[in-house]
Amino acid sequence: MYNFEELDEITRKWMLEEFQDEEKSGNPYRSSRLSSIGLKVFPNEMEKAIKEGNEKTLALALYDPKYWKTSETYPRGNKIHTRKINPIKAAEFLAYTEFNTWYVRGFARRLLEEGEEFCQVYRAAPAWKPRAECLTHENQIYKVKKIYEGHRARYWPKPGDETAFCIPVGTNCHHSIKRVK
């Protein structure tokens, strides 16, 4: 379970507003692992989780194997390999990362609206495979604006900017943000 310090009505309202803005943009982020049925249900389940759920309820809602492709390809060296997709793991990876992504974006928006200049990055859940680069942002203080603008900066709308600053940086980064006390 993630430990979100201020997952209350006010934060959920900002998460929802930010989520709906991205949905309306015409090019919202979608996992490439989702099947065509999965792509249809995902935005509704995401919205439900933002309104009244959490990363666990979202994962549960996405466990159905119909929502996932059976395999995916990935490059290694100069070859393209194929691997099977485990729907339970895929649902958990996506749900945890997406729910936290919206929490960070929504909570950063809330802090900006409240006139806060800084926030602190912290580990909101234990990571079973921590990323080495996570050591550079753990417990660091950043400008809220930098966090807000870093939303998905690494991989969306354009893929591949490996140096862009964003929290969470991706799968297996369980860092979120909190108010500086």
Dist CA 8 CA 176 (whole Å): 15
Residue 31 φ then ψ, to 5°: -65, 135
User: Can residue 173 be called a binding residue for Zn ion (CB under 5 A)?
Assistant: yes
CB of 76 to Zn ion, least distance (A): 24
Q: Toward Zn ion, which CB reaches closer, 109 or 175?
A: 175
User: Can residue 177 be called a binding residue for Zn ion (CB under 5 A)?
Assistant: no
Q: Toward Zn ion, which CB reaches closer, 34 or 124?
A: 124
Q: Toward Zn ion, which CB reaches closer, 71 or 171?
A: 171
Dist CA 51 CA 16 (whole Å): 7
User: Can residue 62 be called a binding residue for Zn ion (CB under 5 A)?
Assistant: no
Most distant pair of Cα atoms in the chain: their distance: 50
Q: Toward Zn ion, which CB reaches closer, 90 or 173?
A: 173
User: Can residue 104 be called a binding residue for Zn ion (CB under 5 A)?
Assistant: no
Site string for Zn ion, 75-94 (x = CB under 5 A): --------------------
User: Can residue 175 be called a binding residue for Zn ion (CB under 5 A)?
Assistant: yes
CB of 132 to Zn ion, least distance (A): 10
Dist CA 99 CA 143 (whole Å): 21
Q: Which of residues 134-153 bind Zn ion (CB under 5 A)?
A: 134
CB of 93 to Zn ion, least distance (A): 14
CB of 77 to Zn ion, least distance (A): 27
Give the burial string for 58-95 (b: 16+ CB within 10 Å, else e): bbebbeeeebbbeeeeeeeeeeeeeeeeebeebbbbbb
Helix (H) or strand (E) holding 56: helix 55-61
The count of chain residues that interact with Zn ion, using the rule CB under 5 A, is 3
Whether residue 157 is preceded by a cis peptide bond, meaning omega within 30 degrees of 0, is: yes
For residue 37, give both structure tokens: 């049925």
Which residues are at the interface with Zn ion (CB under 5 A)?
134, 173, 175
